Amino acid sequence: MKRNDFLVFGSPYIEEPEIDEMVSTLRSGWIGTGPKVGRFEELFREYIGAPYAIALNSCTAALHVSMIVAGIGPGDEVITTPMTFCATANAIIHTGAKPVFVDVKKDTMNIDPDLIEQAVTSRTKAIVPVHFAGRPCEMDRIMEIARRYKLMVIEDAAHCIEGVYKGKKIGTIGDITCFSFYVTKNVTTGEGGMVTTPREDWADKIKMYGLHGMSRNAWKRYSDEGFKHYQVIFPGYKYNMTDMQASLGIHQIKRIETYYKRREEIWKQYNEAFKNLPLSIPSPPEKETRHARHLYTILLNLEKLKTDRDTFQQALYEENIGTGIHYISLHLHDYYRKTYGYRPDDFPNSKFISERTVSLPFSAKLTDDDVEDVIRAVRKYIMLYFKK
């Protein structure tokens, strides 16, 4: 039976404390970068266990400014995965460097370390692993390759705030780690990002470069501590987070483990409901890791179905079930194909996933009825399209 209302994919779970905090911020008159951003940074730093955490207005900004402070620029190459959102590659391009794609493993959808070393050249400056859907990459092997070739590791952890790899929190392993608080993420500030790093000099530069390149704590120049002059030290960017964004984050971060437990429950329900259907459910987390449970992605077994992925997705839409596609591999998009000469079969695993993947609604906000509606709709159309 069709749902009465549309189930929006990735609808954020906003509760009363965030709303009250936002109203308080608006009434205070301090709606730009201010003390609540500092408070959110400290809460996030404590959760991750990183020496430094710097809030910015998006994960895209975090990736870009991290590469700038790491010295990546024209003529450099940065190895990453094509199975990611375009921001990962675009941040590399905006520095003047070239993104060099290597394929993913089909079961994990994460970058294949065996292929990374093959892609290293004299121009390679860094590796950007993407922890896809919340599954930590094989960081031991990636870090070993990076150290051997004297490369930096800038982790794209947009999906992986709760992730743990062999006892280490994601955000404490690479040289720099970038997180997202976009509206669909496990912790949301509407738009927003965070950088963690063990290096104080990089933390200072990231904060400075993210606010026009102005001298440290320039945001305080209009505070009740008295006016302060500032100096522009670098031609920076407008990447700072605001107190309005942080008003959401300081409460979201406090409930992160509660939300995680709810997503774990839904994950198990989906696994049980879909395990014997002509589709692949996410592979189990690797030993000594904690999957952040950001996306629940299925891969359709097209060889056993009388349909393609897009038709299946549209059928769910007609049932009032919103879904996502994570992702169409970047090498299949016009810009990267035309600019770098990529062909569809250059990355066969990424192409395979691109043609079959569907991300189902997956959030702590989902009710039991919502979950049942998703399960019912998926099973209905899988069986309808199944080749007898």
Query: Does position 231 have pLDDT exceeding 90, yes or no?
Result: no
Query: Does position 219 have pLDDT exceeding 80, yes or no?
Result: no
For the stretch 345-359, pLDDT in tens is 999 999 999 999 999
Angstrom distance (rounded) from CA 239 to CA 209 = 8
For the stretch 289-331, pLDDT in tens is 999 999 999 999 999 999 999 999 999 999 999 999 999 999 9
Query: Does position 222 have pLDDT exceeding 70, yes or no?
Result: no
DSSP type of residue 347: S
Q: Which residues are catalytic?
A: 185
Q: Output the DSSP codes for 83-96.
A: SS-HHHHHHHHHTT
DSSP 3-state of 342: coil
Question: What residues have CB less than 8 Å from 246, skipping those under 6 apart?
Answer: 36, 37, 39, 40, 55, 189, 192
Q: What is the pLDDT of residue 323?
A: 98
Mean pLDDT, residues 199-217 taken together: 88
Q: What is the pLDDT of residue 284?
A: 97
Full set of structural domains in the chain with CATH: 16-255 (3.40.640.10), 256-385 (3.90.1150.10)
Mean pLDDT, residues 15-21 taken together: 98
Q: What is the pLDDT of residue 214?
A: 81
Angstrom distance (rounded) from CA 236 to CA 46 = 28
Bridge partners (DSSP) of residue 280 are: 299
Peptide bond into 327 cis (omega under 30): yes
Query: Does position 227 have pLDDT exceeding 70, yes or no?
Result: no
Question: What residues have CB less than 8 Å from 386, skipping those under 6 apart?
Answer: 278, 304, 305, 306
Please give the backbone phi and psi of residue 32, each rounded to the nearest 5 degrees, phi first. -85, -155
Query: Does position 225 have pLDDT exceeding 70, yes or no?
Result: no
Q: Tokens 């990453």, residue? A: 80
Give the residue with greater pLDDT, 216 vs 100.
Answer: 100
DSSP type of residue 123: T
